[in-house]
Chain A
């Protein structure tokens, strides 16, 4: 019997090594896997490269991971926010590297990695300083920039419900990057509010098929 469900946050992140590249789901705090990040902080892996849309909000989740000085580099589209004080301080102190990526290119590069594409030509950013030095091509009269896929060792994402095969459904706009990151990481760990019995998720409504998910951990612990 295949059972990807787990009941303990510490055990699902225990094999994340120092220097790993980790995708973290969420747009702001919607979809942010707070419990998995707390477990990662407790686990203690350092020198991490984090891929997320932002760079932490307030004092929880990704912001707490950055505050704990475990992050070497952030790849994101929008780090600077009114409540990104932990990133702001680390960046200004020169403790953290930033790769700024337009939001749609971030999604497309993650999607490309998960889809097995070697690169993409994207119109976004053409002629701007974020495309400086990058290869470009004119195709049918439109200008494109060559961008490479973004892979990760691990993805930490938050879904609403999952089953023991790893099928996932999400809740409202907390879906955001979850389905993409699940495809692009060697090991995808999803925290869910509930692990349901096989067959309980409507097959027509499954958003992330279980093939992309390796571990499912329930927020409420074992029921």
Chain B
């Protein structure tokens, strides 16, 4: 079965982000979506540590320790960008001002429940950061992830078994085999990667998936 690689997955999400959108990209693979946003569209990237209008990584030697993203990596500010404190930053999420956030996940349920902060392992030190605020805050939450774990288990599930980050909050998942829309009626297929069949994704997920007409 043909699958997208991680760069192609990031590029696929980027295609669905319209000009003028206010967008937060989560840590990890979602951060790479920025590399595929078309240069001729103005899209506003928000970073929850306090900037809007985030630009690419600085050239070597140009890093500023006071200018970082949520992953604590050095970044730049675009002309017209601005800084703000944490209460303003999270008001942008909670208050419904962000159009889209793109997050990674351990599991997503067919109804849009998200599990991406903890695997519940008893010896792990818990950490949550802004995951729960982003999950319930943005107008649309996209999850970008491989459909399966390395062990071959589906990460799109009937019900999450990992601790939840947010309830009924994910509207779409972008995977290496296709794009799925989630909601009260369950998961439906938006598109499949060329060479992947509906039967194959039904088998991988164990869910009664149908194509969106």
- Which of A's residues lie within 8 Å of B, judged by CB? 27-31, 53, 57, 77-81, 87-88, 91-92, 98, 100-108, 110-111, 122-130, 170-180, 207
Asked whether, in the complex, the Cβ of B51 is within 8 Å of the Cβ of A127, the reply is no
Q: Given A123-B94, A175-B85, A180-B85, do A100 and B127 touch, yes or no (CB 8 Å)?
A: yes
Q: Which residues of A contact B66 (CB under 8 A)?
A: 30-31, 171-174
Q: Given A103-B128, A103-B133, A127-B164, do A108 and B87 touch, yes or no (CB 8 Å)?
A: yes
Q: Which residues of B contact A207 (CB under 8 A)?
A: 85
Alpha-carbon distance between A111 and B91 when the two chains are bound, in angstroms: 11
Asked whether, in the complex, the Cβ of B126 is within 8 Å of the Cβ of A180, the reply is no
Alpha-carbon distance between A122 and B131 when the two chains are bound, in angstroms: 14
> Which residue of chain A is the closest to B48 with respect to CB atoms?
A103
A-B contact count (CB 8 A): 139
Q: A30-B49, A79-B126, A80-B125 are in contact. List 20 more A-B contacts (CB 8 A).
A: A28-B68, A30-B66, A80-B126, A98-B126, A102-B128, A102-B130, A103-B86, A103-B133, A104-B89, A105-B133, A107-B87, A108-B94, A123-B137, A125-B132, A128-B132, A172-B64, A173-B51, A175-B85, A176-B49, A180-B87
Q: Which residues of A contact B125 (CB under 8 A)?
A: 79-80, 87-88, 91-92, 98
Alpha-carbon distance between A81 and B89 when the two chains are bound, in angstroms: 22
Asked whether, in the complex, the Cβ of B50 is within 8 Å of the Cβ of A173, the reply is yes
Q: Given A80-B125, A127-B166, do A175 and B50 touch, yes or no (CB 8 Å)?
A: yes
Q: Which residues of B contact A173 (CB under 8 A)?
A: 47, 49-51, 66-68, 83
Is the CB of B28 closer than 8 A to any CB of chain A? no
Asked whether, in the complex, the Cβ of B126 is within 8 Å of the Cβ of A104, the reply is no
> Which residue of chain B is the closest to A177 with respect to CB atoms?
B86
Chain B contact residue count (CB 8 A cutoff): 38
Picked from A31, A78, A104, A110, the residue with its CB within 8 Å of the CB of B133 is A104
Alpha-carbon distance between A107 and B85 when the two chains are bound, in angstroms: 9
Chain B nearest CB from A66 CB (Å) reads 13
Alpha-carbon distance between A32 and B90 when the two chains are bound, in angstroms: 20
Picked from A104, A130, A175, the residue with its CB within 8 Å of the CB of B130 is A104
Picked from A31, A79, A110, A177, the residue with its CB within 8 Å of the CB of B127 is A79
26 A-B residue pairs with Cβ-Cβ distance under 8 Å, sorted by A, are A27-B49, A30-B65, A30-B68, A30-B72, A77-B128, A77-B129, A79-B125, A100-B128, A103-B86, A104-B130, A104-B133, A107-B87, A107-B90, A108-B94, A110-B87, A123-B136, A124-B94, A173-B50, A173-B68, A175-B85, A176-B86, A177-B85, A178-B85, A180-B86, A180-B87, A207-B85
Is the CB of B110 closer than 8 A to any CB of chain A? no
Is the CB of B154 closer than 8 A to any CB of chain A? no
Is the CB of B56 closer than 8 A to any CB of chain A? no
Is the CB of B145 closer than 8 A to any CB of chain A? no
Most buried by A among B83, B93, B133: B133
